[in-house]
Amino acid sequence: MAGDASGDASGESVLNRRNYLKAIGGTGVVATAGCLDKLSGPKAWPARPVEIIAPWAAGGGSDRTSRAVANAAENFTDVSWNVKNQTGGSGSVGMNAAANAEPDGHTLGCTAPEIALFEHLGIAKLSPDDITPIMQYTEFPAALVVRKNSQFKSLNDWISYGQKNKIQMANSGFGSSWHMAAAAIADEAGVKVKHISYDGAAPAMTAVANGEVDCTAVGAAEVAPQVKDGKLSALGVAFDKQVKSLPNTPTLASQGLDIRIGSWLAHFAPPKLPKKRQQKIADTYSSVYESDQFKKFMKKNNFIRVKRGPKELKKFLNEQYKYYGKLVNKLGIKKQ
């Protein structure tokens, strides 16, 4: 069940239906949803609980925001929404699972720039053409971080050392958006890097905090709690301005490293989803996006809200596919 969002309910009657559906358990939910389906017609959605597949480990941005979406969505539907973490293959395992699900809108997936990278890197036969876009809801500027007691006290320290010595740099999986961000930042700085892959941003950050590796590049909002707690230190943010999640961290550009890169998150449905159902799901997501509950979660956790509906997201995905194809070729990144 969705777990870490907080906020206002959208109405007592909706909450009563939601709590009732939860209380009667899985079999009862299906039966009750079946009754609702009959009342609403054979093409009603949702007719049973909705599952969102988060393709990276618990604790990262895709997991936390997907749970916030799921929590808020329960206020606008008569069924429960759940999040399942299915990791591996730089997100391709979970995204493939969602893309190959029944195209009825009851299994959705979370995606990121990786969907525009898999084919270019030979990781998986999965591209923007293989999903039905629903909505983008956030973006993450990349932050370059080291452990708190690291020898690197500044970006200049990191660059000076890395131009003469190889630095071990964690990422959230080969071919992931954070792998690309790390490689792009290192390339711009002329730093020698050995990339080490983990199954998500959360374990990559943990590896840095534990001293297993020297640094990583992950989302500013994702790493902010560990920076605040003193486990990690941020050397710079690859964005055009300082971000609220890391108020004391300057941009890389202001320190002479002219690069802006990061990630974003969106939800999608399997291909061949009927247009009317795509629109109905998108309408529900719009309600979630504008809800006080989701806004409070995003603000509290310093996630930047960015909205792209089905048409805008489709265009954006195609642009990302072209962009990352060029970046992969420029950086010479190949499957390991």
Instruction: Please indicate, yes or no, if residue 335 is contained in any of the structural domains.
Output: no
Count Cβ atoms within 10 A of the Cβ of residue 251 and give its class: 0-12 exposed, 13-18 middle, 19 or more buried. buried
pTM value is 0.78
205 within some domain: yes
Query: Looking at residue 32, what is its pLDDT?
Result: 41
| Whether 320 and 237 share a structural domain | no
In a domain, 291, yes or no: yes
As a whole number of angstroms, the distance between CA 34 and CA 234 comes to: 51
Q: Are 134 and 103 in contact (CB under 8 A)?
A: no
Q: Is residue 71 part of a domain?
A: yes
Domain final residue, candidates 219, 247, 262: 262
Look-up of token digits 């630095």 = 167
Pair (110, 169) in one structural domain: no
Q: Are residues 148 and 246 in the same domain?
A: yes
Does residue 1 belong to any structural domain of this protein?
Answer: no
The answer to the question of residue 7 being in a domain is: no
Tell whether 135 and 267 lie within a shared domain.
yes
Same-domain check for residues 294 and 269: yes
Query: Looking at the structure, do residues 172 and 195 belong to the same domain, yes or no?
Result: yes
Beta strands 167-171 and 215-219 are: parallel
pLDDT in tens, the chain (336 residues): 333 333 333 333 333 444 444 444 444 444 444 444 443 444 689 999 999 999 998 988 899 999 999 999 999 999 999 999 999 998 999 999 999 999 999 999 999 999 999 999 999 999 999 999 999 999 999 999 999 999 999 999 999 999 999 999 999 888 888 999 999 999 999 999 999 999 888 999 999 999 999 999 999 998 999 999 999 999 999 999 999 999 999 999 999 999 999 999 999 999 999 999 999 999 999 999 999 999 999 999 989 999 999 999 999 999 999 999 999 998 888 775
Give the chain as a 3 state SS string: CCCCCCCCCCCHHHHHHHHHHHHCHHHHHHHHHHHHHHHHCCCCCCCCCEEEEECCCCCCHHHHHHHHHHHHHCCCCCCCEEEEECCCHHHHHHHHHHHCCCCCCCEEEEECHHHHCHHHHCCCCCCHHHCEEEEEEEEEEEEEEEECCCCCCCHHHHHHHHCCCCEEEEECCCCCHHHHHHHHHHHHHCCCEEEEECCCHHHHHHHHHCCCCCEEEEEHHHHHHHHHCCCEEEEEEECCCCCCCCCCCCECHHHCCCCCCEEEEEEEECCCCCHHHHHHHHHHHHHHHHCHHHHHHHHHCCCEEEEECHHHHHHHHHHHHHHHHHHHHHHCCCCC
pLDDT of residue 11: 36
**Distance set, CA 321 to CA 138, 198, 275, 336 (Å):** 18, 23, 23, 21
Please tell me the predicted confidence (pLDDT) of residue 53.
Answer: 98
Contact between 182 and 201 under an 8 Å Cβ cutoff? The reply is no
22 shares a domain with 163: no
CA 306 to CA 315: how far, in whole Å? 15
> Could you tell me the residue range of the domain that residue 226 belongs to?
140-262
- Token look-up 């941009």 returns 251
- Answer yes or no: are the C-beta atoms of 312 and 266 closer than 8 Å: no
Q: What is the sign of the dihedral through the CA atoms of 122, 197, 57 and 248? A: negative
Q: Looking at residue 206, which CATH number applies to its domain?
A: 3.40.190.10
Q: Are 176 and 328 in contact (CB under 8 A)?
A: no
Question: In Å, what is the CA distance from 169 to each residue of 260, 284, 305?
Answer: 18, 39, 28
Domain count of the fold of the chain:
2
- So what's the pLDDT on residue 41? 43
The reported pLDDT for the residue numbered 333 is 85
Looking up residue 34, the CATH number of its domain turns out to be 3.40.190.150
My answer on whether 131 and 269 are in the same domain is yes
Residues 213 and 226 in one domain: yes
- Whether 125 is covered by a domain: the verdict is yes
Strand partners, 204: none
Question: Which of 245, 262, 279 lies at the terminal end of a domain, its last residue?
Answer: 262
Cα–Cα distance for residue pair 223/143, rounded to 1 Å: 8
Answer yes or no: do 101 and 220 share one domain: no
Domain match, 241 and 222 both? yes
45 close to 256: Cβ distance less than 8 angstroms? no
Domain end position, chosen among 262, 282, 317: 262
pLDDT of residue 43: 65
Residue at 334 is within a domain: no
Find all residues with CB under 8 Å of 195, minimum gap 6, and list them: 169, 171, 174, 179, 182, 183
| Shared-domain flag, residues 67 and 105 | yes
